[in-house]
Amino acid sequence: MLITFDAINLDQIAYSGQCFRWRKEGDGGYAIPCFGEVLHIRQTAENIVEADCSEEDWHSRWAAYFDADCPDYAQALAAVPESDQYLMQAAQAGRGIRILRQPLWETMASFIISQNNNIPRITKTLERLCEVCGGAEAFPSPECVGQMTEEQLRQLGMGYRARYIQQAARRFTADRADLLLPSMDEAQAQAYLTSYLGVGMKVADCIRLFALGQHRTFPVDTWIKRILKEHYSQGLPEAYAPYGGIYQQYMFFYERQCAKQAIRKRA
DNA sequence: CCCCAGGCACAGA
DNA sequence: TCTGTGCATGGG
């Protein structure tokens, strides 16, 4: 079926560092494993995508995943002030990004692994975890991961994060965190998440943004730190707070895209 | 050999 | 509250 958004660009989302298991396909589309199935989806025109699922399936599962019909994006774009040329350009470059609403445990595990790590290696480590425990397509449950030994996890290339993952899996299961977290407010979720070993502010923010849909959240990583120093030495304007997560994604995408182009230029 | 990667825990001031 | 430092592992 065809779905029209006010703004969507699959390539931009795939490059935005939210999701580590999208697979690029031969037709230029993507295979997205989630909810125990695999959605095949491709861009057919600007802001239009075609997905190989029923309309019922789209509305019951995938619409929420893609944050469809959320008014925040249009409002966020409209709220960019003329005076901020950097954000204006970043938003223009990445305006097709959606903030995905991804499964909690997968997001938590992915971003624990992401710390002090690079995206290709994060992807590889998660792939191996899925092969060993989840059965290739499905992301392994916290019950399954919690039963693995630290040494087994370490052998997947997690390094010192193996202990974080194992302990997080056990506690996530014991706490029924997938039921608790969605009913928490932002401050509660932040306090709860950062009480996990291996989850600091940045990882907690990514979980809140990419799994709980808390669009005000503004995760600060090494890229964003550079951007803040370079373009916002006085701090981010207060007015940006309601759309912090969306602006953060625009900036992250834009900065990485510029870096990539700079490398290509040298070659 | 170096530095860096979507940081964090921990120690010490 | 705020520094600094070690950390597993792979890529450039």
Question: pLDDT tens digits for A160-208?
Answer: 999 999 999 999 999 999 999 999 999 999 999 999 999 999 999 999 9
Using a cut of 0.95, tell me whether the model's pTM lies above it.
yes
DSSP A52-85: SS-HHHIIIIIHHHTTTT-THHHHHHHT--TT-H
What average pLDDT does range A236-264 have in this prediction?
92
Residues facing A141 on adjacent strands = none
What average pLDDT does range A227-239 have in this prediction?
93
**pLDDT exceeds cutoff 80 at A125:** yes
Q: How far does the CA of A6 sit from the C1' of B4, in Å?
A: 38
pLDDT (0 to 100) of residue A40? 98
pLDDT (0 to 100) of residue A267? 57
The gap between the terminal CA atoms of chain A, to the nearest Å, is: 41
Q: How far does the CA of A246 sit from the C1' of C1, in Å?
A: 30
Q: Considering chain A, what is the average pLDDT of its residues?
A: 95
pLDDT (0 to 100) of residue A151? 96
Q: How far does the CA of A116 sit from the C1' of B8, in Å?
A: 9
Confidence of residue A258 (pLDDT cuts 50, 70, 90): confident
Residue A235 has φ and ψ, to the nearest 5°, of 95, 165
Closest CA-bearing residue to C1' of B9: A198
Q: How far does the CA of A52 sit from the C1' of C4, in Å?
A: 52
pLDDT (0 to 100) of residue A266? 58
pLDDT (0 to 100) of residue A259? 83
Q: How far does the CA of A7 sit from the C1' of B9, in Å?
A: 40
**pLDDT exceeds cutoff 70 at A243:** yes
CA dihedral A61, A62, A67, A69 (to 10 degrees): -90
pLDDT (0 to 100) of residue A150? 96
What average pLDDT does range A28-48 have in this prediction?
97
- Measured CA to C1', the nucleotide nearest A203 is B7
Closest CA-bearing residue to C1' of C10: A121
**pLDDT exceeds cutoff 90 at A265:** no
Cα–Cα distance, A40 to A186 (Å, whole number): 33
% of chain A residues with pLDDT over 70: 98
- Measured CA to C1', the nucleotide nearest A194 is B8
Strand C, nucleotides < 7 Å from a protein CB: these are 7-11
| Tens of pLDDT, residues A54-108 | 999 999 999 999 999 999 999 999 999 999 999 999 999 999 999 999 999 999 9
Q: How far does the CA of A119 sit from the C1' of C5, in Å?
A: 24
**Residue A259 or residue A62, greater confidence:** A62
Please give the structure tokens belonging to residue A118.
């690079």
Please give the structure tokens belonging to residue A175.
């706490």
What average pLDDT does range A119-130 have in this prediction?
95
- Measured CA to C1', the nucleotide nearest A222 is B6
pLDDT (0 to 100) of residue A261? 81
Strand B, nucleotides < 7 Å from a protein CB: these are 4-10
